[in-house]
Chain A
Amino acid sequence: MHYIANRLLSVAFTLLLISLITFLVTNILPGDVAMVIMGTQSNPEALAGLRESLGLNDPLIAQYGRWITGILTGDWGRSLVFKEAIGPLIADKVVASALIVVMSMCIALAAAIPLGIWAAVHRDKWQDNAASTTALFGVSLPDFFWGIMLILLFARYLGWLPSSGFVHPADDFVAAVRHAFLPSLALGLGLMAHLTRMTRSTMSSILSQEFIRVARAKGLTERTVIWRYALANAIGPVMTVAGLQVGYLFGSIIVIESLFNFTGMGWLTYQALLNRDIPLIQSTVFVIAAVVMLTNLVVDLLYAAVDPRIKLP
């Protein structure tokens, strides 16, 4: 348990650092939320009144104190531009992002595992090259470019899927998945490359191990050897890499969600940044960093539980 306690402690410390960095960086952002609220109608007197009522004139320390106490006590404040309570707003948007993160992960794994195995089995043959080149293509185009192409193909020309918007899974599950499909696919294509590569290298090292040779010698079919024995051993490391990609995904959703008008965390963060909505930027950036951090922690702990080399005394 010592390992876990240690990890948790360092996570708590890192979260504190994250909050500090987030707060400081957002406070040196140029621009002024009071102005965004008023738009081209602003004038000095009205601006001054608004700034005062928004608490923008208080010293930094006081603002940080207020913010961090709020975060800890569950009072996340209100968005300055949109007037909505931040806590519920984020809770709502996290669901949307979780949906496409999970879906893109499923899509990527569904493509990467067979492709990776195929490449590993035919190592250094044309199949290997074909598989890795296919995967590389996925990662070589910006995901927003894939997004644009997918909108054109599936929404504009074929008309199979909606091109934009988010539907809450609790309202209509089928519609939710249909709306999330194209953004997930755009994200999944980029993710696939890493996972294919990982599957390939893990599988090829496992396939060259003793127990596989024994299994083959016993006369088991090649299919059984690969899918029953080798894959069972490869799945752990592959899932670990998949878990670590969550951070990458949370970076990509900013662009993809904006493109698909998919109103999740990425979209919210971009809106907040564009509007200099400081409390909202602080909270969204903090939540994204915390989610990435905690996913990594869970992956580590799971890995430790599975891998006997890391002891959990």
Chain B
Amino acid sequence: MKRRDFLKTTTALMGGLAITGTGIGVAHADGHATPVSGGTLIWGHSETTQNLDMHQTGTASTGRLLQNVHESIVTTDKDLNVVPNLASSFEVSQDGLTYTFNLRDDVMFHTGAKMTSADVKYSFERCADPATGATNFEVFNAVESIDTPDDLTVIVNLSTVNAPFLSRLAENGAGVVMPMGSGDTQGDMPVGAGPFKFVRREFGNEVELERFDDYFDGPAYLDKIISREITEPTVRLTGLRTGELHMINDIPLDRMAEFEGNDDFQTVSWFPLNFDFVNFNHDFEPFKDARVRQAFDLMLDKETLMLGALWGQGTTSASPSFPTSASYNGDISQRGQDFERARALLAEAGYAPGELKVVFKVTTNYPYHVDSAQIMLEWFRQGGVDMTIEQLTWSDWLSQVWVDKDFQVTMMNFFTLWEPDFLYYSLYHSTGGFNYRKISEPALDEMLEKARITTDSAARMDIYKDVQTYINENTLDVILWFRNGTIGAQPNVMGLDTVVQPNGSEMNFHKVWLKDA
């Protein structure tokens, strides 16, 4: 993607989300509409929520819902700077080893209890405890002790410098504050300090949330949210069309064009929701040779692939860094399709056409991945690779590819990880938690370790830019694109521009209201 186009898109994102449709855009611009309280919003949610424990759940769908129930100790503004939330202020000591959080004294939990430093200590310790099985427990690896000198002060002492520590706390997964002792019941009855109380879940069917009147940032407008879990896209669309649903997330990609031109509905599309990449198993003999990886990269026409699989609902990119974040390296670019060079590289590496047999494992969890794989398959075959596809259910993909690392080529998406350490260390360090490709590059390891202990922010970001160049030059993965997120809604749903959170993947209904409530 060209730098200039990129900036254009970014501006659109920064200036608020691109909104089309009737009413809403105008109403907000004129400032005429005054929010009213009341009403129940019926949301067609694209996924089934699972374990409702914020610490344990690893699925984005569940996090998306719990975003409304929980609050984290700090959060980010739209430029992804860490800003106060449950803590009204925070300080980091000069040596980067001591974090002091001063808590607000007006935060109430849904239980009716007031939040104190003991709750924060409880939540952090619960997350850090391996027995909890928290997905983000490694955030607290360097934590030596947590002190609570008074009810409103929390001091976290680290044993070694961990530059990304504060940023990681801005996400609910690690930074969430739960009432003390609520851990055992969080799985089916989550309680937190968020704008909505969890009322009930009729499993697989719907979840009911209710306004929490004592929310520290002022009560929400909606009385209730009913989240209907409808995984079938056609059914979700039909529900919106017939008026059964006020709002749906994830409009099927091929329908966006049709919806955007339709005045009966509002659509919100934002960028980025997540990024996708093609992965090589670096332990598979042919892929140990960078020339082979590069040859595969050269067989792909990313723009056409994006148009084909995403129906244009995305933006190609050579870097997986969050596009508006300081770590994004805009100077690297994707390789264009060049079969001649690809074949030459393969020949150089010792593979005659048809000699290389490769299996592409892809999960049916993401139908557009299956489409992508089918398109790529044609190109790979054209490039002289004998490739077949294997479709896997989500759990099979996780077990074969993620854990057993038993694959040759695969494809995956990640919700945009705006914190670069989380992104690059986990994905590319030889010991990284997400390094399922068995990437082992000593030079890269060194850069990533250095970044972790670099407290100067600008210097740290420069290291990450070098990391991106390294990944690109050595074709460790083929980074494809950022995918757009989409929401469709009835005209009477107001405040849609506030729903999507800065990280692009979470949704919050605090400021949403219904015109005819």
**Interface of A with B (CB < 8 Å)?**
30-43, 45-47, 49-50, 53, 81-84, 89, 92, 151, 155-156, 159, 162-166, 258-261, 263, 267-268, 271, 274-276
The CA-CA distance from A276 to B396 in the complex, in Å, is 9
Taking a contact as CB atoms under 8 Å apart, the answer to whether B394 and A49 are in contact is no
Contact with A along B189-213 (1 / 0, CB 8 A): 0000000000000111110000000
List of B residues within 8 angstroms of A155 by Cβ: 238, 242
Taking a contact as CB atoms under 8 Å apart, the answer to whether A31 and B137 are in contact is no
Given contacts A151-B235, A166-B205, whether A38 and B135 have CB atoms under 8 Å apart is yes
List of B residues within 8 angstroms of A275 by Cβ: 50, 394-395
Taking a contact as CB atoms under 8 Å apart, the answer to whether A83 and B133 are in contact is no
Taking a contact as CB atoms under 8 Å apart, the answer to whether A268 and B393 are in contact is no
| The stretch of B64-72, B224-232, B259-267, B487-495 that contacts the partner chain | B224-232
Taking a contact as CB atoms under 8 Å apart, the answer to whether B235 and A271 are in contact is no
Nearest-CB distance from B102 to chain A (Å)? 30
Nearest-CB distance from A55 to chain B (Å)? 13
Taking a contact as CB atoms under 8 Å apart, the answer to whether B398 and A40 are in contact is yes
Taking a contact as CB atoms under 8 Å apart, the answer to whether A46 and B395 are in contact is no
Contact of B232 among A81, A82, A259 (CB under 8 A): A259
Taking a contact as CB atoms under 8 Å apart, the answer to whether B51 and A30 are in contact is no
Taking a contact as CB atoms under 8 Å apart, the answer to whether B412 and A38 are in contact is no
Nearest-CB distance from B351 to chain A (Å)? 31
Q: How large is the interface on B (under 10, 10 to 19, 20 to 34, 35 or more residues)?
A: 35 or more
Contact of B398 among A39, A45, A165, A271 (CB under 8 A): A39
Main SS of the interface on chain A? helix
List of B residues within 8 angstroms of A89 by Cβ: 203
Given contacts A49-B133, A81-B51, whether A31 and B398 have CB atoms under 8 Å apart is yes
List of A residues within 8 angstroms of B368 by Cβ: none
The CA-CA distance from A267 to B412 in the complex, in Å, is 26
The CA-CA distance from A261 to B239 in the complex, in Å, is 12
The CA-CA distance from A251 to B37 in the complex, in Å, is 47
Taking a contact as CB atoms under 8 Å apart, the answer to whether B242 and A159 are in contact is yes
Chain B positions 338-366 with a Cβ under 8 Å from a chain A Cβ: none
Closest 8 CB pairs of A and B: A39-B58, A83-B187, A41-B135, A50-B133, A43-B433, A41-B58, A31-B395, A49-B130
Nearest-CB distance from A145 to chain B (Å)? 14
Contact with A along B134-148 (1 / 0, CB 8 A): 111110000000000
List of A residues within 8 angstroms of B390 by Cβ: none
List of A residues within 8 angstroms of B235 by Cβ: 151, 163-164, 259-261
List of A residues within 8 angstroms of B51 by Cβ: 37, 81-83
7 further contact pairs, Cβ within 8 A, besides A31-B399, A50-B133, A259-B235: A38-B133, A42-B135, A83-B51, A156-B238, A163-B235, A274-B394, A276-B399
| Centre residue among B202, B205, B228, B239 by max chain A CB count within 10 A | B205
Taking a contact as CB atoms under 8 Å apart, the answer to whether B433 and A165 are in contact is no
Given contacts A46-B130, A162-B244, whether A40 and B204 have CB atoms under 8 Å apart is no
The CA-CA distance from A268 to B205 in the complex, in Å, is 11
Taking a contact as CB atoms under 8 Å apart, the answer to whether A35 and B242 are in contact is no
Nearest-CB distance from A149 to chain B (Å)? 12
Contact of A46 among B53, B57, B135, B234 (CB under 8 A): B135
Nearest-CB distance from B404 to chain A (Å)? 10
List of B residues within 8 angstroms of A47 by Cβ: 403
Contact of B58 among A30, A40, A276 (CB under 8 A): A40
Contact of B230 among A49, A83, A164 (CB under 8 A): A164
List of A residues within 8 angstroms of B187 by Cβ: 83
> Could you list some 9 contacts between A and B, CB below 8 A?
A37-B58, A39-B58, A53-B133, A151-B235, A159-B242, A163-B244, A261-B232, A275-B50, A275-B394
| Centre residue among A50, A259, A267 by max chain B CB count within 10 A | A50
Nearest-CB distance from B125 to chain A (Å)? 15
Contact of A83 among B138, B188, B231 (CB under 8 A): B188
List of A residues within 8 angstroms of B135 by Cβ: 38-39, 41-42, 46
List of A residues within 8 angstroms of B239 by Cβ: 162-164
Contact of A36 among B53, B137, B241, B394 (CB under 8 A): B394
Given contacts A163-B238, A165-B205, whether A39 and B133 have CB atoms under 8 Å apart is no
Taking a contact as CB atoms under 8 Å apart, the answer to whether A30 and B133 are in contact is no
The CA-CA distance from A258 to B188 in the complex, in Å, is 23
Q: Which residue of A lies closest to B173 (CB)?
A: A41
List of B residues within 8 angstroms of A81 by Cβ: 50-51
Q: Which residue of B lies closest to A275 (CB)?
A: B395
